[in-house]
Each structure stands twice: as structure tokens, then as C-alpha cells.
């Protein structure tokens, strides 16, 4: 199970063969509730991609944070109710932006805002997702297939209840509950966890501290290697 698989599922791009998640489908116009989003041209997207690339390339240490921003935007999806998912509702000052699991993501949003201002025709949800794709590439990860079409929330009231994202203090039943809600299998849960190969924990965000691997700015399979090869001891 490689990190590339984690990337594909992380971006919520690939169609799940068991169901079609219609809110992620792209066409000439993407619609959600009463809003309508005209898909930007490929030329616009590529200009935006290049601006993001230049920004993150010069500050590689922020790349994992961009992946986390996109993941936390997408990871609230509920398959049964068709709620949550990538819609950039965290850009509002209340709602999901204040959820504990999203602590510290305001820094990512603030850093990206000057670039977003240059590309007003691209939705925030698309923009954050594209930033993650670019960040993964900069960290020597794979070229992730990507397309536009994510419609932005229009107000903080579209936030979902707190608690939809994984809580590291809870065990396997909790993880299964979170990811099965999105339509993922146990195998896909394992694949997604490979994204922990990049970045590190911060006490003011997750309550934990330190990196998962010794190569925190390289998108590889070191997380899985460590799980298999290192000796682990239960602590209380």
C-alpha cells in the first residue's frame, strides 16, 4: 500500500466505485444548493497552479500544512446525508474554523489568501485542494489527478457539527466510524493514514508533538515502514 494511494483518496478525487458522490462531480457548471460555480478555464487553473508552486517551493516547510487544510476541508463528508465535504466553509470566522481539529489552519488560509486574491474565478475549495496537490508534488510525491468543480459554502451556517474529523486520542472503532461514514473501506483507511509521512504534530493543535518520520518534508512510505519495522510499546 503506497503513499500514492493515500494521495488519491486524500484529495477525494477518484470516484468511489460503490457510489457516486455527486457533490464532487464537475461539469461546465457545478451547482450546490442555490449557488452556481462556473468552472474556470484550464489556462486560469494552470496560472494559479504556478503561483501556488512558486510560493510553496520557496517555503517547503509549509507544504504539509497545505495538505492538512485540504484534507480537513474534505474530511467532513457524510455519504448518507450528502453533507460536509470540500466547500471551504472554514474561511468564515465561526463554524468549522473554530473546531478543535482545525486548530492552526488559519495560518495556512492566511498565507494562501494573497494568491487566492489573484485568482477570483477559482473557488476557495478548488484552490485549497489544488494547493495540496501542488504541495505533494513539491514534497517529491506523485502527480495527483485533479479537476475543478468544488462549490464554496456561502455562510458559516453550512458548517457541520464538530466531531466529524478523526480524533487521535480514540481507537479503531472511532476511526472506522469516521471513515466508513465517508464511504471508505478499512483498506482505504490504512492508505489514507500514509499521509502522516509528511508534517509533524504540534501541541497547540493536536496536543501531540513531533514528526511521524525523519523525512517530514518528503512524501514517501516512511510512515508504513516505521509501523512495520519499529518496536512499539503501549503506554498509559
CB 86 within 8 A of CB 150: yes
For the segment 218-227, the average pLDDT, to the nearest whole number, is 96
Residue 114's Cβ-side half-sphere holds a number of Cα atoms within 13 Å equal to: 6
Please name each of the domains of the chain with its CATH number.
Answer: 3-229 (1.10.520.10)
Give the separation between CA 156 and CA 166, rounded to whole angstroms: 21
Q: Which residue is listed with cell 519495522? A: 229
Residue 212 appears among annotated catalytic residues: yes
Q: What is the pLDDT of residues 40-52, one digit of tens each?
A: 999 999 999 999 9
Give the separation between CA 70 and CA 74, rounded to whole angstroms: 6
pLDDT of residue 9: 37
Active site residue: 72, 99, 119, 196, which one? Answer: 72
Residue 235 banded pLDDT, cuts 50, 70, 90 = confident
Active site residue: 99, 128, 196, 212, which one? Answer: 212
Residue 146 appears among annotated catalytic residues: no
pLDDT of residue 3: 43
pTM > 0.85: yes or no: yes
CB 143 within 8 A of CB 64: no
pLDDT of residue 35: 57
Query: Which percentage of the chain shows pLDDT scores above 90?
Result: 80
Residue 21 banded pLDDT, cuts 50, 70, 90 = very low
Q: What is the pLDDT of residues 62-103, one digit of tens each?
A: 999 999 999 999 999 999 999 999 999 999 999 999 999 999
Q: What is the pLDDT of residues 103-146, one digit of tens each?
A: 999 999 999 999 999 999 999 999 999 999 999 999 999 999 99
C-alpha cell at 83: 453533507
Residues in the chain: 236
Amino acid at each position: 500500500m503506497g503513499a500514492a494511494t493515500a494521495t488519491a483518496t486524500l484529495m477525494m478525487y477518484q470516484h468511489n466505485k460503490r457510489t457516486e458522490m455527486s457533490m464532487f462531480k464537475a461539469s461546465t457548471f457545478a451547482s450546490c444548493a442555490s449557488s452556481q460555480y462556473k468552472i474556470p478555464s484550464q489556462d486560469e487553473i494552470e496560472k494559479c497552479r504556478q503561483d501556488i508552486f512558486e510560493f510553496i517551493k520557496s517555503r517547503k516547510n509549509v507544504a504539509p500544512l497545505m495538505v492538512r487544510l485540504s484534507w480537513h476541508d474534505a474530511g467532513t463528508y457524510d455519504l448518507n446525508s450528502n453533507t460536509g465535504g470540500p466547500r471551504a466553509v472554514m474561511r468564515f470566522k465561526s463554524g468549522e474554523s473554530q473546531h478543535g481539529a482545525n486548530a492552526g489552519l488559519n495560518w495556512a488560509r492566511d498565507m494562501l489568501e494573497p494568491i487566492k486574491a489573484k485568482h477570483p474565478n477559482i473557488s476557495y475549495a478548488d484552490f485549497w485542494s489544488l494547493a495540496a496537490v501542488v504541495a505533494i508534488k513539491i514534497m517529491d510525491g506523485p502527480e495527483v489527478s485533479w479537476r475543478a468543480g468544488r462549490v464554496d459554502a456561502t455562510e458559516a451556517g453550512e458548517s457541520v457539527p464538530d466531531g466529524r474529523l478523526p480524533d487521535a486520542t480514540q481507537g479503531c472503532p472511532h476511526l472506522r466510524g469516521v471513515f466508513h461514514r465517508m464511504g471508505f473501506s478499512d483498506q482505504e483507511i490504512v492508505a489514507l493514514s500514509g499521509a502522516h509521512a509528511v508534517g509533524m504534530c504540534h501541541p497547540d493543535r493536536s496536543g501531540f508533538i513531533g514528526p511521524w518520520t525523519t523525512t517530514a518534508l518528503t512524501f514517501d512510505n516512511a510512515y508504513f515502514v516505521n509501523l512495520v519495522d519499529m518496536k512499539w510499546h503501549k503506554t498509559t
